[in-house]
Amino acid sequence: MKFQLIAQDIRTSARAGILSTAHGEIETPIFMPVGTAGSVKAVHQRELETDIKAQIILGNTYHLYLRPGIPLLEKAGGLHKFTGWNKPILTDSGGYQVYSLAENRKITADGVAFKSHIDGSSHIFTPESVVDLQRAIGADIIMAFDECTPYPCEHAYARSSLELTHQWLTRCVDRMKETTPYYGHEQALFPIAQGSTYRDLRERSAEFIASQGQPGNAIGGLSVGEPHEEMYAMTSLVCGILPADKPRYLMGVGTPANILECIALGVDMFDCVMPTRNARNGMLFTSRGIINIRNEKWKDDLTPLDADLGGYASTFYTKAYLRHLVINKEILGAQIATLQNLTFYLWLVGEARRKIREGTFTEWKDKMVKIIKQRL
């Protein structure tokens, strides 16, 4: 997996690059729509490609493991073939959902035992098994098994958790070496830096994962409730230690403003459920700010959702029409809002990339952050 830097901002740590995978090139900085259990909710695969212009999507190993299950994915020839999405896929390790969704979870040095949130059945994830699962899913980018600490978190817990995450990383790296790509195409491992909001732990973790020499690196354990300033401080610290010639992925972040700020700190890749989940509740991200389409004020607003953005959902449908659909729980409401939000997120990172290349990123970012944060 090749990562080529093509431009760097002079005043910030923002950079533009190209990550080459077996399923195509990814222009960074990039946002990855979340395709939970084999579907980015409420959008067709062709819409992801043509309207949203997604270049890579994320799959959740925990969900895919439980449903449809690995045997069916193997029979299909992997998640790409099963879903018909033929561009790159990154899978998480399943750890995050085990902690947030599963029941009766028990963490040991070996791994995590848990019960399915669907039927209560018992399962065990280990560093080795989650590598195997992600190989079988066919992910282009495989995430290491880690423990994502909650916020706030005692220093002692954060430290011992970090040590476990590092042990698990070593086992993931070993497992990657012992095994081969499942469907012939290249699969790369990204380690994850943890350490909660403690500078010493974050430094130690960043140094440890940097030393592994993997094709890319991730920052986990942020956007879990800490103040934005803490998130930015930790991201900046870790980005400064991670190798500059490898892509940096900040997991689970965030709002459009968070993304622009973290691009400025040197992050190349993002994922978040916010544009898709919030869409289904009627929250729209637009190039002029945030809209709660359920508000009375949009009731008879017959202007397009986001005329400046362009694209189908943004220009074809009006605010009054979408409000009517969302209020009345019409499926099309979720479809339109999701299309709007993801189109906006991909547009935003694309614009950031363009501004980095043009050398005007900082001014643009400072102006844009104010606009996209405001509630209309």
Binding region for a second copy (CB under 8 A): 37-39, 41-46, 67-68, 72, 75-76, 82-84, 299-300, 302, 312, 316-318, 320-321, 324-325, 327-328, 330-332, 334-336
Which residue lies nearer to a second copy by CB, 67 or 199? 67
- Report, in Å, the least distance between residue 329 CB and a second copy: 10
Q: Which two tokens stand for residue 354?
A: 């363009």
**For residue 170, what are the contacts with CB-CB under 8 A and spacing of at least 6?**
none
| 51 tagged catalytic | no
- Report, in Å, the least distance between residue 50 CB and a second copy: 11
- Report, in Å, the least distance between residue 317 CB and a second copy: 7
Question: HEC string of 65-83?
Answer: HHHHHHHHHHHHCCHHHHH
- Report, in Å, the least distance between residue 270 CB and a second copy: 23
How far is Cα 89 from Cα 24, in angstroms, rounded to an integer? 10
Chain centroid to CA 95: 14
Helices 331-358 and 361-373 cross at an angle (nearest 10°) of 160
Farthest-apart Cα atoms in the chain, separation: 61
Closest Cα partner for 293 from 254, 257, 328?
328
Which residue lies nearer to a second copy by CB, 24 or 77? 77
Closest Cα partner for 107 from 117, 116, 118, 98?
98
How far is Cα 259 from Cα 365, in angstroms, rounded to an integer? 10
How far is Cα 125 from Cα 64, in angstroms, rounded to an integer? 13
Which residue lies nearer to a second copy by CB, 86 or 160? 86
Which residue lies nearer to a second copy by CB, 13 or 83? 83
Which residue lies nearer to a second copy by CB, 2 or 67? 67
| 271 tagged catalytic | yes
Q: Which of 51, 140, 268, 271 is catalytic?
A: 271
- Report, in Å, the least distance between residue 59 CB and a second copy: 13
Q: Which two tokens stand for residue 84?
A: 């018909």
Please tell me what DSSP assigns to residue 318. Answer: B
Q: Which of 9, 92, 140, 306 is catalytic?
A: 92
Q: Which residues are catalytic?
A: 92, 271
